[in-house]
Amino acid sequence: MGRLQNVGLPFRGDVSHRRRCLCSGAIDVCVLAQDRAEPASGACAKLVRRQSTRVITLAILPLRSDPPRGSWRNVGFVETCAGRTHGRGVVSTNGVFRPQRRLPPTKLFSLGVPIPKPMAAGPAQKRILLLGGKMKTRSILLSFLLLVSLRARVESQGLATTNGDSNLRVILLGTAGGPTFSAQRLGISTLILAGPEKLLFDCGRGLTTGMAAMAINPADVTKVFLTHLHSDHIVSLPELYLFPWASEGRNKPLQVWGPDGTRSMFKHLQETFAFDIHIRRDVDVKHSAEGIKVFATDIREGVVHEANGVKVTAFLVDHGLAKPAFGFRVDYHGHSVVMSGDTKPSDNLVRFSQGVDVLIHEVARSKADPALVGPPDELLPGTRLTRGQWKTIGEDHTDGTEAGRVFERAKPKLAVFSHYNGPSAPILALVRQNYAGPVEFGEDLMTIEVGDTVSVHRFAPPNR
C-alpha cells in the first residue's frame, strides 16, 4: 500500500470530474513515486519543463498497514498506461491507494480527482502524476526540496475546502422523466453540495450509478428529501439505505424528509429487509448498528432542515391526486436553488422562487400535441398507452408553454429542465413563446455552480 500526501497544486479552472490517462505528455513534474510493485527501488523524480505550463507536484510515501474497515472513499481512479494499455486502481479520501491489479514498476500513471471548488479561469482538473522507475538519490532530493518549497502554496490553495466555499453546487445525477427505462439516462435525482452539507433530492433509478460516475461515495450522503412518493422518485431508496452501509461502512443514520407516508414506507422497508439487516449487523460481519438506522420525518410546508448555514424549505405544489407533493428551496450564503418536483403550473412555486439563482423545473409533453387528438381509448401511436392515459398524465405536469410562463414570473438567473423526456428543440420553442431568459436542458451528471455567477459544466466520461 502507499499513502498519498501533498497531493499537489490545483489548477485554476471550472469544476471537472474527469479521469484521463496522461501518457501523451503535458507533464510538468513527476515527484517521488513508490509503489507496491517496486518495493526495493525507493522512489523516482524527474522534472520536465514545458513552455506555458504550470508545475504539478506529488509526494507518495510508503505505508504498509491496511486502512481501518470502512475508511474507503473512492474519490478518484488511478490509471496506469504504457502505450495504449491501461490499468486502474482507487484512492481514498484519507490518501490510501489500492491498485485493482498489480502495477508494473515502469509505467506512467495519472489520477484526476474532482476539485471541491472551481477556481477563476483556465483548464479544469486537478491531476496527480507519478512516474515509475529508478532514479538517483540526488534527483530524489532535488524533487523533494521542490515539494517543500511549494508546500505553502499547496496549503493556501489547497484541496478547496467545502466549509469555506460559499457557492452551491448542484449535480443532476439523473434527469429522465417518469417510470421509464433507458440505457442512456438515469432517473430523477439531484444532489446539492453546500458547505459540509450533502443534500439529496429524490432517489430515481440508477442513483448510485450516477454517484459512482462522479466519484461520490453514497455512504457520505445521509440526508434525503423526497418531493412525493411516486415510484420513479423513490425506487433507489432501498439501495441507498442498504448498500453503502453494507459495503462502504456507513456508520451514521440515514435521515429522510418527505410527505405523509414517508415514515410508514421506511418502517415497512426495514421489515422487508429484516433478514439481511439482522445477518449483516448482528451475526457475521457485524456492521454498524447506527449506520442502518433511519430517522424519517413526514413534513409540512416550511423550513424542514437548517444546519451549517444551509436552509431547506419545503413548499406545496400541485401534482394532481398525488397529495401532498412538495418542491424544495435551498438557501446558502445568499445563493439559492429551487426544485419543482412534479407539478402542474404552480402559483406557490412562483412565490417560493422569487429571487432564486437557479430554478430546476420538470416539463412534460405539450398538452396541445396533435397526437393527443383522437379517440381516448385508442393507443397513442408508438406507445402502449391510450390517448386518454397520456392526457391524464399530462394534466398533472407542466408543458413547455406553461413552463415559459412560470419562468417569466419567477425570473431565475438560470432555468433548468430536469425530469423530462423527448427532444429539447420542440420544448424550447414552446418556452420561447413566453420567456426569453437563459434555459438549460439538464443532462445526467451535469454540474451547476451557483455563486456570484451561475455556470454549467457537462460531464465528460473518462477516456478508456
Averaged pLDDT score across all residues of the chain: 74
Please tell me the predicted confidence (pLDDT) of residue 290: 98
> 70-79, 219-228, 253-262, 425-434: which has the minimum mean pLDDT?
70-79
> 31-45, 184-198, 407-421: which has the minimum mean pLDDT?
31-45
Averaged pLDDT for residues 66-95: 36
Task: Give which of 326, 321, 325 is closest to 352, Cα–Cα.
Answer: 326
Please tell me the predicted confidence (pLDDT) of residue 210: 96
CA distances from 326 to 186, 300, 301, 312 (A): 21, 9, 8, 12
Please tell me the predicted confidence (pLDDT) of residue 462: 76
Percent pLDDT > 70 in the chain is: 64
Averaged pLDDT for residues 140-148: 41
Residues sharing a CB contact under 8 Å with residue 83, sequence separation 6 or more, in sequence order: 23
Higher pLDDT, 346 or 82: 346
Q: Using CA atoms, how far apart are residues 342 and 383, in angstroms rounded to an integer?
A: 22
Task: Give which of 197, 177, 159, 249 is closest to 424, Cα–Cα.
Answer: 177
Task: Give which of 398, 430, 435 is closest to 415, Cα–Cα.
Answer: 435
pLDDT of 373 strictly over 80: yes
Higher pLDDT, 55 or 194: 194
pLDDT of 415 strictly over 80: yes
Cell of 181: 427505462
pLDDT of 174 strictly over 90: yes
pLDDT tens digits, one per residue of 177-203: 999 999 999 999 999 999 999 999 999
pLDDT tens digits, one per residue of 269-304: 999 999 999 999 999 999 999 999 999 999 999 999
Higher pLDDT, 149 or 174: 174
CB 342 within 8 A of CB 227: yes
- The confidence band for 375, taking pLDDT boundaries of 50, 70 and 90, is very high
Please tell me the predicted confidence (pLDDT) of residue 464: 59
Averaged pLDDT for residues 363-373: 96
Give the range with max mean pLDDT: 18-27, 32-41, 159-168, 298-307.
Answer: 298-307
Report all structural domains of the chain as residue ranges with CATH numbers, in order of start. 2-157 (no CATH), 168-363+398-457 (3.60.15.10)
Higher pLDDT, 217 or 19: 217
CB 132 within 8 A of CB 44: yes
Cα 41 off chain centre by: 39
Residues sharing a CB contact under 8 Å with residue 436, sequence separation 6 or more, in sequence order: none
pLDDT of 110 strictly over 50: no
Please tell me the predicted confidence (pLDDT) of residue 113: 30
pLDDT of 324 strictly over 90: yes
Averaged pLDDT for residues 397-404: 98
DSSP state of 110: E
DSSP state of 154: H
Cell of 29: 513534474
